């Protein structure tokens, strides 16, 4: 019994030490200004895709992965890291948010309005929309709520709905396994934002990332809100300046411009925590930030990073087929090295 208690103590001690080391390693990685984060989607529940993408991008040199806040996503990401044997070098971040945040939305089709024109099918980078028995449907698991289908539908047949995460319930378990929690604050419910943020500050001692954009607040209100959130623990906080569109998928300067502009406003306000950019980001993002003299610490890429390797990831045997894996690896490495 005494021996078991000693073992438990040792386990707890080692666990704490490992967490502390990972936290410092993640801080150094962000401070290197070469931080590349792969966004798998705050609402992406396609676990096979998560496993394959984490395996591929970790092998390509990416060290930071942003996933849905569930044990299933963490397990899928860990399987991917085991495959590439990069478990010890990489950091997992789970994304949570205010209830109204668009990153927690999904889309569905109103069958009574849909004219089956099929325009939305090719627009979806997640391959979530399909036609069966003369109906257009969305696979909820694959939908990340990017709104591309919603924006393109000529008949307004697509509706958005919020898929609220019960992340506070799962947090004790998630906290043990992730190095970072990202809190999305794109909502006008400031009271809810502050309440949930305080909860995170009190309960989590890893890195906290705030994902914010300029769509809801004026620049002044946004900056004041960020300063207020950071003031209690600036050492463990970073910001992800989010641009629009949320899911660009295009590889040009225009698509990534809003992300760089959001980072510029935040950095010019005197906020001194590291800032990375997301939202419409692509292989041009780091270059654009440099050209505009916006001193970001890195780039988080979602849709574009997934799109360029999509045809390989969709293969069932992707992880067992060296030819597919190596071809995709070349593409992924090129993108990671652009940062
Ligand atoms: S674009 Fe709109 S109308 Fe066309 S198939 Fe999709 S949901 Fe239906
Ligand atoms: S386009 Fe975006 S919002 Fe529409 S189904 Fe695909 S992932 Fe979901």
- CA–CA distance, 217 with 3 (Å, rounded to integer): 57
* pLDDT tens sequence across 199-237: 999 989 899 999 999 888 899 999 999 999 999 888 899
**Which residue's alpha carbon is nearest to atom 8 within ligand 1?**
114
* pLDDT tens sequence across 59-69: 999 999 999 99
* pLDDT tens sequence across 58-105: 999 999 999 999 999 999 999 999 999 998 899 999 999 888 888 888
**Residue ranges of domains in the chain, CATH in brackets:** 15-99+166-337 (3.20.20.70), 103-162 (3.30.70.20)
Question: What pLDDT is attached to residue 104?
Answer: 85
Work out the pLDDT band at 178, boundaries 50, 70, 90.
very high
pTM value is 0.89
Which two three-digit tokens encode residue 169? 């319930």
**Which of 146, 150, 302, 306, when mutated, tests ligand 2's pocket best, judged by the most ligand atoms within 8 Å of its CB?**
146
* pLDDT tens sequence across 240-297: 999 876 766 789 999 999 999 999 999 999 998 999 999 999 999 999 999 999 999 9
Distance 4 CA to ligand 1 centre (A): 61
Q: What is the DSSP letter of 244?
A: S
CB 126 near ligand 2, within 6 Å: yes
Distances (CA, A) of 328 to 55, 65, 146, 309: 11, 18, 24, 6
Distance 118 CA to ligand 1 centre (A): 5
Write b or e for each residue in 168-195: b if 16 or more Cβ atoms lie within 10 A of its Cβ, otherwise e: eebbeebbeebbbbbbbbbbeeeeebee
* pLDDT tens sequence across 120-173: 999 998 889 999 999 999 999 889 888 889 999 999 999 999 887 777 788 888
Q: Taking every pair of C-alpha atoms in the chain, what is the biggest distance, in angstroms?
A: 71
Which two three-digit tokens encode residue 317? 């045997």
């Amino acid at each position: 019994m005494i021996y078991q208690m000693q073992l438990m103590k040792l386990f707890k001690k080692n666990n704490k030490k490992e967490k502390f080391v990972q936290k410092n390693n993640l801080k150094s990685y962000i401070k290197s200004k070469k931080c590349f984060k792969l966004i798998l989607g705050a609402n992406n529940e396609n676990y096979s895709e998560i496993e394959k993408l984490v395996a591929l991008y970790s092998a390509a040199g990416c060290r930071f992965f942003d996933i849905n806040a569930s044990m299933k996503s963490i397990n899928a990401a860990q399987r991917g890291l085991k495959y590439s044997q990069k478990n010890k070098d990489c950091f997992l971040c789970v994304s949570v948010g205010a209830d109204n945040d668009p990153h927690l939305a999904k889309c569905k089709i109103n069958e009574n309005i849909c004219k089956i024109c099929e325009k939305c099918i090719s627009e979806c980078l997640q391959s979530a929309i399909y036609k069966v028995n003369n109906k257009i449907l969305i696979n909820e698991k694959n939908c990340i709520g990017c709104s591309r289908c919603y924006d393109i539908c000529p008949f307004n047949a697509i509706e958005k709905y919020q898929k609220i995460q019960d992340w506070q319930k799962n947090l004790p378990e998630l906290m043990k396994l992730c190095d970072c929690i990202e809190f999305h604050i794109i909502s006008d419910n400031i009271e809810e934002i502050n309440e949930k943020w305080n909860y995170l500050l009190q309960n989590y001692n890893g890195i906290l990332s705030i994902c914010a954009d300029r769509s809801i607040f004026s620049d002044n209100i946004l900056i004041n809100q960020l300063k207020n959130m950071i003031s209690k623990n600036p050492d463990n906080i970073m910001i992800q300046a989010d641009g629009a569109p949320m899911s660009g998928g295009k590889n040009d300067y225009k698509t990534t411009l809003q992300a760089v502009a959001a980072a510029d406003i935040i950095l010019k306000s005197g906020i001194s925590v590291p800032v990375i950019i997301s939202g419409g980001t692509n292989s041009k993002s780091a270059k654009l930030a440099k050209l505009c003299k916006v001193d970001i610490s890195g780039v988080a890429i979602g849709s574009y990073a997934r799109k360029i390797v999509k045809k390989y990831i969709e293969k069932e045997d992707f992880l067992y087929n060296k030819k597919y894996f190596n071809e995709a690896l070349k593409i992924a490495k090129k993108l990671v090295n652009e940062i």
